[in-house]
Amino acid sequence: MKLNDEQQMLQDSVARLMADKGPVSHLRELRDRNDEKGYDEPLWHAMVESGLTGILVPEEHGGIGFGLVGAGLVAREIGRNLSVTPFLSTAVLGATALAAGGSAEQQQKWLPAIAEGSVITALAVDDGAKHRPEAIKTEAKAAGDGVTLSGGKLLVLDAHVADLLLVAARQGENTALFLVDPKAQGVSIERTRMVDDRNAARVTLDNVAAEPMADGAAALAAALRAGRAVLAAELSGLAREAFERTLQYLKERKQFGRLIGTFQALQHRAALLMGEVSMSDALAMQALDACDRNADDAEVQVLAAKAKAARTALLAGQEAVQMHGGIGMTDEFDIGFFLKRARAGGETLGDANYCADRFAALRDY
């Protein structure tokens, strides 16, 4: 899988944008001032201006319809810089769900708004501590000519600043997404500070009026696939950055009268880490491309990519802290942020074990 010219240009410009406007220091600042919105607003505006919020919105709805490889390239840079944006919740999950399963009316209402950056959306799937979309407990009940939802959701990204909730609920045998107004009666949203200092919330729904989608099941499936693929790219980018920072440290830090990078025990670990990072990244890109090509094995590839990236990012985070020695344990030093995000990003939309389990099931064993 090779980037075409457009994708190459996107990669270069996004790399610059994220490094300039969304560096790790912003994450620290947002955290330290306990920012109310919890995301980097100037960065988000810059992303809107560059059209990135519409990267998965079809052109007829005001987006640029760049495809998942493009979204993955953005996510990779988000990962490298630990940029704090609602890109995943809104530009990926929201846009994909609505494009895949929204009614014409819903699409008209929400997709252009996502592209122009005037709304934030939040996908609410997990109703337990673990991602199990096959066993959703939140229930959708018929009520008059609509439906009402009851249940509790965890790890709902950007929910406390969202203008729209996309909620997974069970209706008889089917599980589908429903649209919910976060201000509707019966919705309560508790922002939960997470280890990675990103926006997440617990959402409780008590007989909340919800709007069915044209094909809420397809919307859920598409959003999960896109989200996992994009997360795989983000985690791979994160892993690469943690690795590169560590490699640099090995070339600077001296102990025993020489650079610690001369110790073979560390050299081999660095070499292994580079290999893992490269494989994770290559698989993530291949999986994104498989989605764009609608390949038969796209689902299998995405599950594999997410599993691989989740493990690799954690490995990179751990190795980074270890090879930095004592300073790696300090809050003042940035490397710990990578470890934290690796854990949270790995858990989101299915951890490595979940993805491997689904992977095995799809391969019939």
Give the footprint of other proteins on this chain (CB under 8 A): 1-2, 247, 250-251, 258-259, 261-264, 267-268, 270-272, 274-275, 278-280, 282-283, 285-286, 301, 304-305, 307-308, 353, 356-357, 359-361, 363-365
- Of these partners, ligand FAD, other proteins, none, which one is at the site of residue 326 (CB under 5 to 8 Å by kind)? ligand FAD
The pair of structure tokens assigned to 206 is 């008590």
For other proteins, the closer of residues 222 and 323 by Cβ is 323
In the complex, minimum distance from the CB of residue 55 to other proteins, in angstroms, rounded to a whole number: 23
Return the closest-CA partner of residue 253 out of 195, 197, 189, 333: 333
HEC-encoded secondary structure of 198-212 = CCCEEEEEEEEEEEE
For 155-215, give the DSSP string: --TTGGG-SEEEEEEEETTEEEEEEE-TTSTTEEEEE---TT----EEEEEEEEEEEE-TT
- Could you give the C-alpha distances from 19 to 24, 74, 275, 350, in angstroms and in order? 9, 12, 24, 28
Rounded CA gap, 49 and 43, in Å? 10
Binding test (CB under 6 A) with ligand FAD, winner from 255, 294, 296, 365: 255
In the complex, minimum distance from the CB of residue 252 to ligand FAD, in angstroms, rounded to a whole number: 10
- Of these partners, ligand FAD, other proteins, none, which one is at the site of residue 141 (CB under 5 to 8 Å by kind)? none
Binding test (CB under 6 A) with ligand FAD, winner from 188, 207, 322, 353: 322
C-beta nearest to ligand FAD: residue: 325
For ligand FAD, the closer of residues 172 and 326 by Cβ is 326
For other proteins, the closer of residues 9 and 362 by Cβ is 362
Under rule CB under 6 A, residue 365 binds ligand FAD: no
Site string for ligand FAD, 194-233 (x = CB under 6 A): ----------------------------------------
Question: Residue 301 is which amino acid?
Answer: Q
Rounded CA gap, 311 and 282, in Å? 15
Rounded CA gap, 134 and 132, in Å? 5
Which alpha helices (DSSP H) does the chain contain, by range? 5-21, 24-32, 41-49, 68-81, 95-101, 104-115, 216-250, 264-292, 298-324, 335-347, 352-362
Return the closest-CA partner of residue 24 out of 74, 69, 78, 83: 83
For ligand FAD, the closer of residues 202 and 333 by Cβ is 333
Binding test (CB under 6 A) with ligand FAD, winner from 256, 294, 296, 364: 256
Phi and psi angles of residue 352, each rounded to the nearest 5 degrees, phi first: -60, -35
In the complex, minimum distance from the CB of residue 239 to ligand FAD, in angstroms, rounded to a whole number: 18
Cβ neighbour number for residue 65 with a 10 Å cutoff? 16
In the complex, minimum distance from the CB of residue 251 to ligand FAD, in angstroms, rounded to a whole number: 12
Tokens 């899988």 found at = 1
Return the closest-CA partner of residue 231 out of 306, 124, 341: 306
The residue range among 3-11, 135-143, 192-200, 252-260 that interacts with ligand FAD, by the rule CB under 6 A, is 252-260
The residue range among 45-53, 140-148, 307-315, 324-332 that interacts with ligand FAD, by the rule CB under 6 A, is 324-332
Under rule CB under 6 A, residue 258 binds ligand FAD: no
Under rule CB under 6 A, residue 265 binds ligand FAD: yes
- Of these partners, other proteins, ligand FAD, none, which one is at the site of residue 253 (CB under 5 to 8 Å by kind)? ligand FAD
Contacts (CB under 6 A) with ligand FAD, residues 268-287: none
The pair of structure tokens assigned to 88 is 């995943």
Rounded CA gap, 355 and 132, in Å? 11
HEC-encoded secondary structure of 51-97 = CHHHCCCCHHHCCCCCCHHHHHHHHHHHHHHCCCCCHHHHHHHHHHH
Binding test (CB under 6 A) with ligand FAD, winner from 33, 296, 326, 332: 326
For other proteins, the closer of residues 61 and 311 by Cβ is 311
The binding site for ligand FAD (CB under 6 A) comprises 253, 255-256, 260, 263, 265-266, 322-323, 325-326, 329
